Amino acid sequence: MSLLFEPFQQRGISLRNRIGVSPMCQYSSQDGFANDWHLVHLVSRAVGGPGLVMTEAAAVTAEGRITPGDLGIWKDEHIEKLSQITALIRENGAIAGIQLAHAGRKASCDVPWKGGAALAENEGGWRPILGPSAIAFDEESPIPKAMTIAEIAELQQSFVAAARRSIEAGFQLIELHLAHGYLLHEFFSPLSNQRSDRYGGSFENRTRIAVEIVEAVRTEIPESMPLWIRISATDWAEGGWDIEQSVRLSQALKPLGVDLIDCSSGGLVPDVKISVGAGYQTGFSDRIRQAANIATATVGLITTPEQAEQIIQTEQADIVLLGRELLRDPYWPHQAAKQLRAKSHHYPEQYQRAWS
């Protein structure tokens, strides 16, 4: 029996299987607005059969975008198109999730296919960019403005407002982006946070911003709505954030209403050595799942149905999130169901003749 195609229930939702579409930036928005590209991209994945379809990182403020092409949810006008997309995702059997984010010191960059370098204001970028401390990402990046206590409070309210808009837009699950070297991750790591106030120094101080945002967002959203967190389990750099701190953070967030830790890694500092290989991050999701007694998701070079099945069978994670593999093959879940002989999987009626 395939466990990959068993339902996953959490709070008021039920995923039809343990496969999710990982958040993947499309860099195709103008002023944060979703458009027909996002509709086709996300809904076609829902037709492909996963249990969960997540949007790319949606910026909670305009200056929190990685690039001018990032998706946003910082104003009410963003809701209309997102509502159309979530309705079609649900109509095609998947749960609609959104990832809320702020890019921090990695904001104001060009899109990847144009090189991804930092953009000056006369090139369509913006200043200031924000961070916990005035430490640039690398030698080619601008120095961020160290956030004041007042700006941190404003940021928290931006996440709350974005969560409220997400509910209005029809999303059924919210994930907060605390990974990949973006703003909240920057607060966690001593490599990017050298503050001397209550948001810097000790583990409790460096993670305080996440605790406060989780508490505020959890209060805003319905009890029936799952709240997930994506973290970088390690910076892969000496003196930085690591798996032990990730376990402590997970243990601290669970009682506050976090339902799942989405385990990725890296992104905080450039030129680190990462031992990349098939399923190379499953050790993080396994460790956190066991040590913090919380559900986890894993991501990273998961490509075959047998590999995904083995992750679930061996309880290394509760959810397998796919990124590039679903760009290459939006119907990977259907292929996997056939290959694993999953009896519980249902194909779209319009496509059944192709899978019989």
Catalytic-role residue among 182, 199, 331, 347: 182
SS3 track for 277-297: CCCCCHHHHHHHHHHHCCEEE
Q: Which of 308, 303, 305, 257 is nearest to 285 (CA)?
A: 308
Query: Please, are residues 234 and 190 in contact by the beta-carbon 8 Å criterion?
Result: no
Contact partners, residue 281, CB within 8 Å, separation at least 6: 233, 263, 264, 265, 298, 299, 300
Helix (H) or strand (E) holding 86, with range, is helix 79-91
Taking the C-alpha atoms of residue 60 and residue 72, their distance in angstroms, rounded to an integer, is: 6
Strands 173-178 and 95-101: parallel
R_g of the chain, CA atoms, integer Å: 19
Contact partners, residue 196, CB within 8 Å, separation at least 6: none
Active site residue 182: yes
Cis peptide before 128, with omega less than 30 degrees from 0?
Answer: yes
Q: What tokens does 130 get?
A: 């924000």
Query: Which residues are identified as catalytic?
Result: 182
